[in-house]
């Protein structure tokens, strides 16, 4: 691709469009000293807080398919998965940057829709776009979001704090996103009949207020978001905490539409719940003495006890119909088979 000479009167500046959309949608924050339009953005940290930073990219053909993702869905989801990472630390999300590489067949109106979807979620969660990069892509859309949040050091919840005897909880329902993805891929006509499953995949809702609730009350000893699937993320939590876990298959919360969807889907509902990925629910541990303090719902989201922590480092098992089986990490990996490298968050 040959870089081209920029013309001062180019039809429409994507950057300016994004600037305008961003300024219209987000409420100003007094800690922001400098936003879009200079070499960097600049903001003041709040005294005593830790700044949280996370990056997650969406790549066309890997994370989404334009046959069933609208530009608004892509924008929404790219920000949602990053908000979920801040929630998984118990933090408050504040700002984000975007880096987008746009293929030649996507006009600026399409890109504008993508930013609309993103900035709608941003407005709802009161986070602000403060900078980024735009460029062309020879093939395929690439969208990277970096999010900045903050948390008091005493409230931050990592993956490391789970102790034997702690109780395991999850938010919401598991498996819905993967079921929705399969509907979209293989049963596109049926898909319209199950909008809630589809929605779970296209427009996940980050559990920001649940994360803040757990952190501010100091209820959670360890916390992670379920992006790769319960089985994989449970392993992540157990590895970092150097503990094991037992989960009860009957207690894993399944989507309401699961029973109706089961006949058309390739795998068991439990398989989707364990290994499906992209649910963006929270998985957390609570010391046994605080168990009764966990309410049945937080911010309207149901909280389910699904098991407990053991001292067997890295060993995860599941109780199914009275029998105990080993659980291997089986969640999905955004890397192609046979690459010999694992994908995921650094």
- For its own copies, the closer CB: 3 or 322: 3
- For its own copies, the closer CB: 266 or 321: 266
- For its own copies, the closer CB: 68 or 291: 68
With the C-alpha atoms ordered 36, 41, 46, 52, is the resulting torsion angle positive or negative?
positive
Contact 23, 129 (CB under 8 A): no
- For its own copies, the closer CB: 151 or 286: 151
* Count of Cβ atoms closer than 10 Å to residue 196 Cβ: 13
Contact 142, 59 (CB under 8 A): yes
CA distance 121 to 79: 7
Contact 178, 226 (CB under 8 A): no
CA 43 to chain centre: 25
- For its own copies, the closer CB: 144 or 173: 144
Q: Are strands 316-320 and 244-248 parallel, antiparallel or unpaired?
A: parallel
* Count of Cβ atoms closer than 10 Å to residue 48 Cβ: 9
- For its own copies, the closer CB: 14 or 301: 14
Q: Is 108 helix (H, G, I), strand (E, B) or coil?
A: helix
**In the complex, minimum distance from the CB of residue 315 to its own copies, in angstroms, rounded to a whole number:** 12
End-to-end Cα separation, the chain, in angstroms: 30
**In the complex, minimum distance from the CB of residue 322 to its own copies, in angstroms, rounded to a whole number:** 26
**In the complex, minimum distance from the CB of residue 85 to its own copies, in angstroms, rounded to a whole number:** 4
Structure tokens, 258: 């699961």
CA distance 291 to 167: 7
DSSP state for residue 336 in the 8-state scheme: -
- For its own copies, the closer CB: 43 or 219: 43
**In the complex, minimum distance from the CB of residue 224 to its own copies, in angstroms, rounded to a whole number:** 6
**In the complex, minimum distance from the CB of residue 12 to its own copies, in angstroms, rounded to a whole number:** 6
**In the complex, minimum distance from the CB of residue 270 to its own copies, in angstroms, rounded to a whole number:** 15
C-alpha torsion angle, residues 244, 340, 330, 328 (rounded to 10): -40
Could you tell me where the beta strands, DSSP code E, fall in 233-300?
Answer: 244-248, 281-286, 297-298
**In the complex, minimum distance from the CB of residue 292 to its own copies, in angstroms, rounded to a whole number:** 27
């Amino acid at each position: 691709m040959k870089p081209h000479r920029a013309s001062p009167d180019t039809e429409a500046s994507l950057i300016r469009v994004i600037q305008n959309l961003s300024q219209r949608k987000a409420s100003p924050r007094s800690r922001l000293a400098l936003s879009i339009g200079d070499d960097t953005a600049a903001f003041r940290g709040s005294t005593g807080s830790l700044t949280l930073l996370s990056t997650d990219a969406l790549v066309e053909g890997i994370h989404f398919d334009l046959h069933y993702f609208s530009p608004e869905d892509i924008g929404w989801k790219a920000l949602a998965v990053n908000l979920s990472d801040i929630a998984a630390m118990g933090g408050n999300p504040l700002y984000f940057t975007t880096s987008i590489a746009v293929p030649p067949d996507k006009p600026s109106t399409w890109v504008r829709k993508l930013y609309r979807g993103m900035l709608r979620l941003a407005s709802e969660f009161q986070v602000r776009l403060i900078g980024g990069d735009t460029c062309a892509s020879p093939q395929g859309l690439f969208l990277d979001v970096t999010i900045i949040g903050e948390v008091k050091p005493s409230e931050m919840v990592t993956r490391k704090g789970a102790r034997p005897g702690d109780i395991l909880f999850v938010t919401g329902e598991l498996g819905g996103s993967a079921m929705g993805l399969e509907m979209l891929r293989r049963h596109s006509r049926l898909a319209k009949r199950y909008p809630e499953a589809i929605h779970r995949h296209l427009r996940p809702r980050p559990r920001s207020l649940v994360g803040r609730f757990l952190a501010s009350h100091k209820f959670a000893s360890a916390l992670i978001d379920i992006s790769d699937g319960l089985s994989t993320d449970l392993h992540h939590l157990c590895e970092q905490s150097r503990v094991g876990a037992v989960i009860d298959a009957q207690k894993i919360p399944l989507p309401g539409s699961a029973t109706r969807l089961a006949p058309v889907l390739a795998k068991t509902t439990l398989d989707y719940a364990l290994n499906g990925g992209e649910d963006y629910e929270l998985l957390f541990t609570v010391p046994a003495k605080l168990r009764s303090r966990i309410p049945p719902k937080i911010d309207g989201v149901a909280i389910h006890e699904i098991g407990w922590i053991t001292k067997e480092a890295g060993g995860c098992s599941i109780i199914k119909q009275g029998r105990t089986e080993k659980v291997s990490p089986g969640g999905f990996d955004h890397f192609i088979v046979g690459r010999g490298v694992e994908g995921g968050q650094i």
